[in-house]
Amino acid sequence: MIGFIQPLEEIHPFPYYETFDNGPTNWTVSGTTTSWILGKPAKTVINSAYSGTYSWVTGSSSNYGLDEVGYVTSPLLDLTGLVNDPYVTVNIWWNSEVDYDGAVLQIFLGGVWRKVGTTSSGGINWYQNPSVAALTAVDPDNSGWSGTGTSGSGGWVRASHILVGAAGKYIKLRIAFASDDTLSYDGFAFDNVVIQSTPSWVPPPTSAPTSVPTSNPTSIPTSNPTSVPTSNPTSNPTSRATSVPTSNPTSRATSQATSLPGSTARPATSGSKGTGDNVNTQNGSSKGNNSGTIAAAILVPLIVIIIVVIAVVVYMKVFKNKIKAKAKAESMERELSEVEKQRNA
């Protein structure tokens, strides 16, 4: 029986809008020690989500921990149809030990994770602190968002930056937060992640999906931050589970065949031309019915054959795309595993 084929990993299309109002939507937490949680912020300073009820935050009601290095990683994002690099926009709120604890945004294009932007690369509300000590564990360039009071964000702010080199590739993003071994505060929160062609928030149209629906995908991104895909895959896997009709094509063909027009006998009326004419009318009606029966007998098998051929072609295309996607994902896993081994060596 022809059924449903599910992708190796759920892939989200461009443009991308995520408010986290319906849960994590395949964003995952990882790290050696982390307080990241998707919840209702109820801290002394960070006390609300930007919109709706939920946002990602380092501890929903308590301070972050000491010596943290934690990540919140996005699902796989499909930017293969782009020619120009897009922009990422995210609402953020930081309240952390100035110069020592803070957060940064990273991107994976293949090979290694790298930081998106610097304090001098432009953007909107991008990294205001040039040196955050704990972020050295995340990236050699340890600039990021850090500070309390006047050096904190003072509430939710909108940050936006171009994703250099992302066009034409599959990518992943992650927010990293790191702290040292003394003092802790509310920390960092983010909400409403958008990837689009402009550097500021544009509300999605009502028809724009926030994610690609799929039923129980066979492989969901793990919490391991190294389990991410490489850039610029040679195949273009479909971004969602593809369904193939499983209904009986014969029933549709029969329905079409029974609606085919056929000749009907005209009833004789009083004052008709006579018995001879009635006989001729009946013969003509019989011939018309026979013609309709013959046409139906020819069309029904033909329609069935056409539907079966279409179903087989669709199935083969979906199966081929699944094989390509699986092979590419396995290649991505191997590549990043090698990167992690080299970093741990």
Higher-pLDDT residue of 224 and 77 is 77
Residue 103, pLDDT > 60, answer: yes
Q: What does DSSP assign to residue 205?
A: P
Identify the domain boundary among 232, 264, 290: 232
Identify the domain boundary among 232, 262, 279: 232
- Kindly state whether residue 79 falls inside one of the protein's structural domains: yes
Give the pLDDT confidence of 278-311 residue by residue, as tens digits.
434 444 444 455 666 777 778 888 888 999 889 8
Q: Which residues contact 219 (CB under 8 A, 6 or more apart)?
A: 8, 9, 329
The two structure tokens encoding residue 267: 């009833």
- Kindly state whether residue 244 falls inside one of the protein's structural domains: no
Residues 319 and 273 in one domain: yes
Give the pLDDT confidence of 328-339 residue by residue, as tens digits.
666 666 777 676
The two structure tokens encoding residue 223: 């919490």
Identify the domain boundary among 203, 232, 261: 232
- Kindly state whether residue 147 falls inside one of the protein's structural domains: yes
- Residue-averaged pLDDT of the chain: 77
On whether the CB atoms of residues 35 and 96 are closer than 8 A, the answer is: no
Q: Any bridge partners for residue 88, and if so which? A: 161, 195
Residues 152 and 257 in one domain: no
Q: Which residues contact 48 (CB under 8 A, 6 or more apart)?
A: 41
Residues 67 and 23 in one domain: yes
Helix pair 275-344, 249-258: axis angle to 10 deg: 150
Residues 20 and 140 in one domain: yes
What CATH number does the domain containing 20 carry?
A: 2.60.120.200
The two structure tokens encoding residue 209: 């999906």
- Kindly state whether residue 104 falls inside one of the protein's structural domains: yes
Domain that holds residue 253: 249-333
Residues 109 and 158 in one domain: yes
Residue 191, pLDDT > 50, answer: yes
Total domain count for the chain?
2
Residue with tokens 């790290």: 31
- Kindly state whether residue 345 falls inside one of the protein's structural domains: no
Q: Any bridge partners for residue 77, and if so which? A: 12, 171
Residues 298 and 328 in one domain: yes
